[in-house]
Amino acid sequence: MVQLARLCSYLLKLLIFSSLVNNFEWVPSYVAGVQNVYKPIRIHPYYSNLNYELNDSEADILKNSVDNIILYLKQLLLVFPNKSPLLLGRDACKSSWTNGRNKGKCSQIKKDYSGEICDDNFLIPDKHLEAFYTWTHEPLPDKTWYTDGVGISNADYILYIQAMSTNPCLTNVHRTNVNRVTAYASYCKLGEMDRPVAGYVNFCPSEFRESKNDQKRLRLTVLHEIFHALGFSKDLFLRYRDCSMTSESNENCAVWGYPILRQHGANYLLLTPTVVKAMQDHFTCNKTEFGAPLMTINGVLQSHWDSNILHGSIMSHTLENPEHIFVDPVTLAAMQDTGWYKVNFSYTDSYPYAKGSGCDYVTGTTEHSSQSCSFPHVRSTCDSWYSTKIINCTISAENNPSVICDSGTSDRTEITRCLQEVTSMSSYGKCYTVQCLGQNQVWVKVSENNWLLCPEKGVIELKYADVKIHCPRNVHLFCYKRGPQLYLEDLVSLQTTTTTPSSRVVTHDLKNMYSFTSGIGRADDIFGNNSRSGFHHVYGFDFTLMCFTIISWNINL
């Protein structure tokens, strides 16, 4: 009886499958006049165990941010829609038939196969997974190990979201503010054309709690992580596809026909055409092969831009002041060159850093030093901080010092920039903490509690210390702030008219999922150095110490 039922269900499947095939044969898209088959991407969030460590209001804040960014991405990215429902494949087969009528079909399941696991041992619910059979020589499967789950309807991508104090989060106790892990993400499953169809994000609860009231920061973190999960990953660069010849569907896209990653000094350059064009346009350089620099750590490629060059990009490895993070044209070009997405470039932020700085800014081999301090004030030797207490800031009281001097509340609007420092002996770039008031006042922190106003194009002279600090030449650019962005403001109101999928909870034995051992066992993991290296993409907080980060990782171009 059981056998019979199985046979029936199998025949039914065959029937459904062949009718699908017929549909494809009989109604090809061009005959049916289907245009613009790319559709806005439908990312389905699946929140898992948020309440294990977050309380209700915290979980709501997290969900709200993720939901908003999903709406943003829906407008930013088009994708070749997934057949509904979305079902994820099982990687369960140990060996397949190499010949015979069941050639290519699985003959043996992996020993101890118990399901599909994302990062952090996150177990994908069976209801999201495909059936799995093994075959003998008979035409019908010998054994049904799993039947199809219900899948996820109307989705092109499923994003698993957790907030757990996993080992990478626990390493934060060993880290400085600069390298703290806020969240990390990975793709989990690839679908047709290798497009990622499932991904995983974990938010470290204590870091999340610290930043949960800073909505902009939170959303930018979410966006950064989802970009990783959608394909901005060192493990996926070489799977990117050239879809430039296919406007209507992605059926004929092949992987890029030339090496799109090339070593350049200590870095790698990403050399896909839209990226190169975006780089050329931004830096005003018409060199061919003017690729975008990806950072390395100890020679190992990472999933972030070199933030020394693409400073403030959403895909650099640290999140500075949210006002200075940009959804830059180079990152969006990379998303387009995945071949999996069509990007609506009208959402590109106006990205000011190093705009028009020329070819040498990127490919030059000169040491990042005082010479490059003039613009955009981010390249620096950053050799030391100027910390001698010199002047009481109340001297400049008439210029609204209350905002500036209240160091207790204003640290998040501080930014670190390289300014040229001249003494009677030398001249070199040094990191200073600065603040912009409006578009035209730059205040420089010259000691712990003391800030001095930069005269425009002028010099701050600290006579007693034999130091002259050269102020930025173009204060407007120096103090540039992004305008209001779609995903930061508009979507709040959009969301009130959009129903977001309700969250569901999977229950696992958490004690078995996580071993809360202390120590920094996953530290290498975080920086992408182990066998599953591709899985971790870390977004740390970096309030003011960008330059320190650069130095401590010893990045040379």
Ligand X SMILES: *[C@@H]1O[C@H](CO)[C@@H](O)[C@H](O)[C@H]1NC(C)=O
The reply to whether 525 sits near ligand X by the rule CB under 6 A is no
196 - beta bridge partners?
Answer: 190
The reply to whether 36 sits near ligand X by the rule CB under 6 A is no
d(CA 338, CA 242): 8
The reply to whether 320 sits near ligand X by the rule CB under 6 A is no
Q: How far is the CB of 23 from ligand X (least distance, A)?
A: 27
368 is in an annotated binding site: no
The reply to whether 398 sits near ligand X by the rule CB under 6 A is no
The reply to whether 58 sits near ligand X by the rule CB under 6 A is yes
225 in active site: yes
Helices (H), 349-410: 359-363, 401-405
Q: How far is the CB of 210 from ligand X (least distance, A)?
A: 9
In sequence order, the 6+-apart residues with CB closer than 8 A to the CB of 113 are 92, 145
The reply to whether 524 sits near ligand X by the rule CB under 6 A is yes
Considering only the stretches 52-60, 97-105, 171-179, 315-323, report the one whose residues sit in contact with ligand X under the rule CB under 6 A. 52-60
Considering only the stretches 49-57, 213-221, 331-339, 371-379, report the one whose residues sit in contact with ligand X under the rule CB under 6 A. 49-57
Considering only the stretches 19-27, 56-64, 196-204, 489-497, report the one whose residues sit in contact with ligand X under the rule CB under 6 A. 56-64
The reply to whether 55 sits near ligand X by the rule CB under 6 A is yes
d(CA 285, CA 55): 51
313 - beta bridge partners?
Answer: 326
The reply to whether 399 sits near ligand X by the rule CB under 6 A is no
Instruction: Output the six-digit token pair for 147.
Output: 């039947």
d(CA 514, CA 162): 13
The secondary structure of residue 367, as a DSSP letter, is -
In sequence order, the 6+-apart residues with CB closer than 8 A to the CB of 460 are 444, 446, 452, 454, 468, 469, 471
Per-residue binding string, ligand X, 354-393, x by CB under 6 A, is --------------------------------------x-
Among 246, 449, 500, 503, binds ligand X (CB under 6 A): 449
Among 18, 247, 298, 552, binds ligand X (CB under 6 A): 298
Contact 124, 116 (CB under 8 A): yes
Q: How far is the CB of 406 from ligand X (least distance, A)?
A: 12
Contact 267, 306 (CB under 8 A): yes
Residue closer to ligand X (CB basis): 75 or 369: 75
How many residues at the interface with ligand X, by CB under 6 A?
Answer: 16
Residue closer to ligand X (CB basis): 399 or 449: 449
342 - beta bridge partners?
Answer: 78
Among 394, 402, 518, 552, binds ligand X (CB under 6 A): 394
137 is in an annotated binding site: no
d(CA 250, CA 21): 18
The reply to whether 481 sits near ligand X by the rule CB under 6 A is no
Instruction: Output the six-digit token pair for 42.
Output: 């439908």
228 is in an annotated binding site: yes
Q: What are the DSSP E strand ranges found in 233-291?
A: 241-242, 254-255, 261-264, 267-270
- How do 538-541 and 318-319 pair as beta strands? parallel
Residue closer to ligand X (CB basis): 61 or 159: 61
Q: How far is the CB of 521 from ligand X (least distance, A)?
A: 13
d(CA 112, CA 114): 6
Instruction: Tell me which H or E stretch contains 222.
Output: helix 215-230
Residue closer to ligand X (CB basis): 169 or 382: 169
Query: Where does this chain bind ligand X (CB under 6 A)?
Result: 55-58, 75, 209, 286, 298, 300, 344, 346, 392, 394, 449, 524, 529
Residues annotated as catalytic are 225
